[in-house]
Structure formats: C-alpha cells, structure tokens
C-alpha cells in the first residue's frame, strides 16, 4: 500500500479510501466486516462514512456496522483513520440537519455513539450550509476539537468559492480550517478542474474523489454488457447510450494497456496532483481486490494525453474560457 498526507496536514492516509455507503444497504453486516478486515490487511487505513448512510428508515445503520466492527477489538479502531459526515437530516424535527452549532454538537455525539468511539479523525461537512454563518460553524468545530472529539475537518460537495470562504473565516480565528474536500471527480466528470481543484491546491486541501468509476460506466460496462453480466436501466442506461462511443474508445485503450478499465480510471485519478485518495465503495471482497490493483498501474504522458482526448477536461478558470 502507498500512503500520503491528507492535504497539508501531517495525517498519513492510504491512497485508496474505503467508502462504506453500501454497508447496511446492499451489503449486510457480516460481509461489511469482512471487507473492512480485508481492507486493513491490504494496508488501507482510511475509511469514509456518513451519519445518513443506511438511508431512509435505516439512517445511521452504516455507522452502527462500523462501530460493531471496532468493538471486536484487535486494534481495529487504532489502525483506522475514520472520516464521517454531518449535514443531512437525521429526523423531521428542527435542528436535526445542516450545520448549526446545535446540530453539529448533537450529530457528532450521536455518530460517536453509533461508531463506538470517542473521536472522529476527520469530521466532514456533507454539503455547504448557506443559512449558517462560518463564525458559528467554526466556533462549534473549535469546541469539538478542544474536547478531543474531532481531530481534522473536511468538506464535501463544496464549490471553489465555498472553500475560499471557509478558509478565510477559519484563518481569522487562527483555526486550521479544512484539510480535505470530497468531490465528484472522474474521467467523465471533470467540472471540479475549473475552480474546486485550484482552490484545494491553493489552500492545501486533499481531494477525495467520490464515484471514481462514474456509477460503473468506467468499470468495463460495455464488456460486462456483452457478457450478460450487467444490464443498466433508467438514467444509467441513457448515460451509457449518450457516451457509448467514448466509452468504447476508453475500453479499447484499457485493453491495449493490458489493464482493466476500472484500474485505469482509478490510476488516472491517482496521477492528478490534487488527489489524495479516490473513495471506492466495494460491495464484495472481489471488488475491493480490483480497486487495489490500480496502485500498480502507471500511466505515461502519451496515455494521459489519449485519455484527455477521449474525455476532455478543463483548464483552471478563467483560462478555460477566457484569455
């Protein structure tokens, strides 16, 4: 396993982050525990979750599964850099969502109880809260850090100017602020290259791409379709038809390189300078094994250029659209 620092922090994390969104939703607890054990065995020390995972009536279930796994002992908690999130509503009553000081306090304590731990390594804002001032948010986080319940703070789904706004407010309080940003980022979804990635690099945030395979479209979907292993429906099928020609070129390129398409997609992200670790969300141990293979894939400049030809990206703004 390869490791790097999370943004400008001194925290060392694996270059693959284990996403747990499927735990308790499509992956039952015994299989989830097996996947987490396998991840540690492979050297993956960075796990990502959220208080709302489990979804619907089962919100919080994913954190409970992780907490039960920690409770097994064997230094599982000590070996894990744990990231969870706050923002999504956990109930219908006022102050059960978003980033008010009250919700941050209550949501954090509830997450710690479900996770069976007394601290979170990286506490992430799942979305920007336009209704709560940063002075209130950072005051609440300063209290959490002072209590030892949170070590680092991250964001998710922020715009570039939200990152700048957050860091300016933190700096005025002599507070560390954000060390990471989770964004939708992959070969087919590169909008963050305009402003989010430049902001992250400027302020020293590590980028944690979610949906690195664009919902499976970059994971060899055409081959699986031909082999009868996967059949897409709805929006996924419409997206495949829209981008079929480019995806076919991409899968052919992966074949020329002698790698699985999913490995190439993850390896491409690992070649991007702002990226700390793509978040992979395996439903099975086999999918976890496949994700780790990407660490052994090296893409030369010619291959990176060919990938840009197939899936054009962006220059930083404003050069992308102005002189």
Cβ distance 242 to 288 under 8 Å? no
Strand, coil or helix: 16: coil
Nearest to 201 by CA among 175, 174, 183: 183
- Cβ atoms 5, 206 nearer than 8 A: yes
Is 53 annotated in the active site? yes
In the Cβ-directed half-sphere of 173, how many Cα atoms lie within 13 Å? 18
Per the DSSP assignment, residues forming a β-bridge with 85 are: 124
Among positive and negative, which fits the CA dihedral 211, 217, 218, 224? positive
Q: Which of 3, 53, 87, 203 is catalytic?
A: 53
- Peptide bond connecting 274 to the previous residue in cis, omega within 30 degrees of 0: no
Q: How many CB atoms lie within 10 A of CB 299?
A: 17
Residues for the chain: how many in total?
A: 323
Structure tokens at 300: 């030369």
Interatomic CA distance for residues 267 and 29, integer angstroms: 29
Closest listed residue to residue 138, CA positions, set 95, 105, 170: 170
The DSSP output letter for 215 is G
Residue 266's CB is within 10 A of a number of other CB atoms, namely 29
Q: Is 236 helix (H, G, I), strand (E, B) or coil?
A: helix
Q: Catalytic amino acids?
A: 53
């Amino acid at each position: 396993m390869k490791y790097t620092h999370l943004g400008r922090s001194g925290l060392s994390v694996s270059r693959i982050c284990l996403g747990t969104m499927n735990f308790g939703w499509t992956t039952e607890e015994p299989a989830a525990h097996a996947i987490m054990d396998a991840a540690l065995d492979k050297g993956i020390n960075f796990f990502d979750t959220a208080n709302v995972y489990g979804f619907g009536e089962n919100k919080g279930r994913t954190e409970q599964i992780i907490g039960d796994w920690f409770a097994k002992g064997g230094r599982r908690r000590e070996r894990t850099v744990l990231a969870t999130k706050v923002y999504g509503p956990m109930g219908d009553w006022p102050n059960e969502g978003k980033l008010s000081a009250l919700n941050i306090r209550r949501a954090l304590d509830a997450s710690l109880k479900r996770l069976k731990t007394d601290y979170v390594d990286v506490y992430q804002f799942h979305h920007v809260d336009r209704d709560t001032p940063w002075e209130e948010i950072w005051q609440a986080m300063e209290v959490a850090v002072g209590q030892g319940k949170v070590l680092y703070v991250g964001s998710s789904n922020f715009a570039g100017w939200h990152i700048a706004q957050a860091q300016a407010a933190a700096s005025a309080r002599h507070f560390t602020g954000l060390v990471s940003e989770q964004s939708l980022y992959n070969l087919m979804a590169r909008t963050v290259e305009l402003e989010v990635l430049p902001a992250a690099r400027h302020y020293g945030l590590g980028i944690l791409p979610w949906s690195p395979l664009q919902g499976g479209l970059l994971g060899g979907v055409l081959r699986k379709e031909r082999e009868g292993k996967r059949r897409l429906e709805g929006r996924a099928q419409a997206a495949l038809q829209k981008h079929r020609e480019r995806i076919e070129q991409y899968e052919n390129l992966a074949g020329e390189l002698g790698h699985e398409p999913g490995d190439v997609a993850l390896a491409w992200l690992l070649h991007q300078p702002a990226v700390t670790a793509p978040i992979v969300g395996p439903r099975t141990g086999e999918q976890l094994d496949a994700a780790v293979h990407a660490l052994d894939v090296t893409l030369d400049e010619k291959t990176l250029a060919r990938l840009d030809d197939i899936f054009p990206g962006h220059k930083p703004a404003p050069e992308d659209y102005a002189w």
